[in-house]
Amino acid sequence: MAEVLVYVDHADGAVRKPTLELLTLARRIGEPVAVALGAGAADTAAVLAEHGAVKVLTADAPEFTEYLVVPKVDALQAAYEAVSPAAVLVPSSAEGKEIAARLAVRIGSGIITDAVDLEAGDEGPVATQAAFAASFTTKSRVSKGTPVITVKPNSAPVEAAPAARAVEALAVTFGALATGTKVVSRTPRESTGRPELTEAAIVVSGGRGVNGAENFGIIEALADSLGAAVGASRAAVDAGWYPHSNQVGQTGKSVSPQLYIASGISGAIQHRAGMQTSKTIVAINKDAEAPIFDLVDYGVVGDLFSVVPQLTDEIKARKG
Ligand SMILES: Cc1cc2nc3c(=O)[nH]c(=O)nc-3n(C[C@H](O)[C@H](O)[C@H](O)COP(=O)(O)OP(=O)(O)OC[C@H]3O[C@@H](n4cnc5c(N)ncnc54)[C@H](O)[C@@H]3O)c2cc1C
């Protein structure tokens, strides 16, 4: 069976969920061979094997952290040359897309970005993309070279598929450009203690109806009562009420949690594009005609300043 390279996104050995989703998709088109780079790369092997990676290629060097993406592209290219895979899959983060694009140029291949599904085809893997704020879906395949495909988070389930744990060191020679751009400082993002937005099982989002940064406290309180992440509409982000890193939608993040609660959000198509695949959707909006109600499983027509705190209190009471 053809091998499929999967680029691993991890933090000091802790594999992020989108990579496990990639393994599910990779198994549809071949045998996943994972490429893990940087500090803790070897620590990723157990969880990757549990999810179907037949082999994990690892490399660690200061270049991966001290410089921007080129050293990682050098390493992925080395893996590509060692394995001659049927496809290369990369998570669709900003960094992932840059790595994938640079690799595709180097190996003379076509690239598909932001795929939301992947299936085997007679002439190579067929990727589904959601276009125009998910109003259309397109299916495409790469017609030149080895397909390089980036896949959006939450596009596939995480599935256990235990494989024997095989770890191999990947030999990487860095090119002259690898050290062209040095990282000169890093500022860790302040931890909120809440789950990562794209990985959370529950997301509570606020929109223009929240009416001010100071009022986001009630959205956060509801989120905390549920152990949820906090999201925001672009209107709330543009108003400076909540950080862009929490924006859900076409120009923000795509989420697909078990439960999505939208408060004071009208349900514009660009917002829906980032959350409409959520399993259960609840909206709180004072306008019964708001388009978000076309999408919901449960809707509350009411003032969020009255409904949200009551909901928080009720959840806390039931949790005891
Ligand atoms: C190219 C492009 C990309 C975009 N990308 C994104 C994106 O990634 N994400 C995104 O969200 N948007 C995006 N937008 C913007 C999008 O079109 C909408 O403008 C935006 O989603 C509206 O945000 P909102 O629902 O919070 O605000 P509004 O549309 O103003 O809706 C506010 C809602 O709150 C309700 N409300 C008001 N007060 C209360 C209250 N007290 N209690 C209950 N309900 C109340 C109102 O009835 C209303 O329905 C994009 C637009 C463009 C053109």
Distance between CA 27 and CA 273 in Å, rounded?
27
pLDDT of residue 136: 84
Distance between CA 210 and CA 238 in Å, rounded?
13
pTM of the model: 0.83
Quick one: pLDDT band at residue 199, thresholds 50, 70, 90?
A: confident
pLDDT at 317 over 80: yes
Nearest to 260 by CA among 231, 235, 280, 234: 280
The atom number, within ligand 1, closest to the CA of 211 reads 38
Tracing tokens 């956060």 back to the chain, one arrives at: 220
Distance between CA 311 and CA 315 in Å, rounded?
6
Quick one: pLDDT band at residue 254, thresholds 50, 70, 90?
A: confident
Structure confidence by residue, pLDDT tens digits, 37-51: 999 999 999 999 999
The atom number, within ligand 1, closest to the CA of 206 reads 26
Structure confidence by residue, pLDDT tens digits, 237-250: 999 999 999 999 99
Q: How far apart are the first and last CA of the chain?
A: 53
Would 3-179 and 197-319 be classified into the same CATH topology?
yes
Q: Which fold has domain 3-179?
A: Rossmann fold (3.40.50)
Cβ-proximal residues to 81 (8 Å cutoff; 6+ apart), any chain: none
For the chain, the structural domain boundaries read: 3-179, 197-319
Decide: 253 in ligand 1 pocket, CB within 6 A.
no
Nearest to 27 by CA among 10, 6, 44, 8: 6
pLDDT of residue 170: 98
Q: What is the pairing mode between strands 136-140 and 87-91?
A: unpaired
Q: What percent of the chain has pLDDT over 70?
A: 99
Nearest to 169 by CA among 62, 81, 54, 56: 56
> For ligand 1, atom 38, which residue shows the shortest CA distance?
209
Nearest to 59 by CA among 40, 84, 38: 38
pLDDT of residue 131: 80
Structure confidence by residue, pLDDT tens digits, 67-107: 999 999 999 999 999 999 999 999 998 899 999 999 999 99
Is 212 among the annotated ligand-binding positions?
no
- Cα 137 from chain centroid? 19
Decide: 304 in ligand 1 pocket, CB within 6 A.
yes
Is 268 among the annotated ligand-binding positions?
yes
Is 219 among the annotated ligand-binding positions?
no
The atom number, within ligand 1, closest to the CA of 252 reads 8
Domain 197-319 of CATH type 3.90.1300.10 = no
Decide: 205 in ligand 1 pocket, CB within 6 A.
no
Whether 173 contacts 228, CB under 8 Å: no
Whether 89 contacts 22, CB under 8 Å: yes
Give just the sign of the alpha carbon dihedral 114, 120, 121, 122: positive
Q: In angstroms, what is the span from residue 280 Cα to ligand 1's centroid?
A: 20
Distance between CA 179 and CA 156 in Å, rounded?
35
- Higher-confidence position of 191 and 8: 8
Burial classification of residue 98, based on how many CB atoms lie within 10 Å of its CB (0-12 exposed, 13-18 middle, 19 or more buried): middle
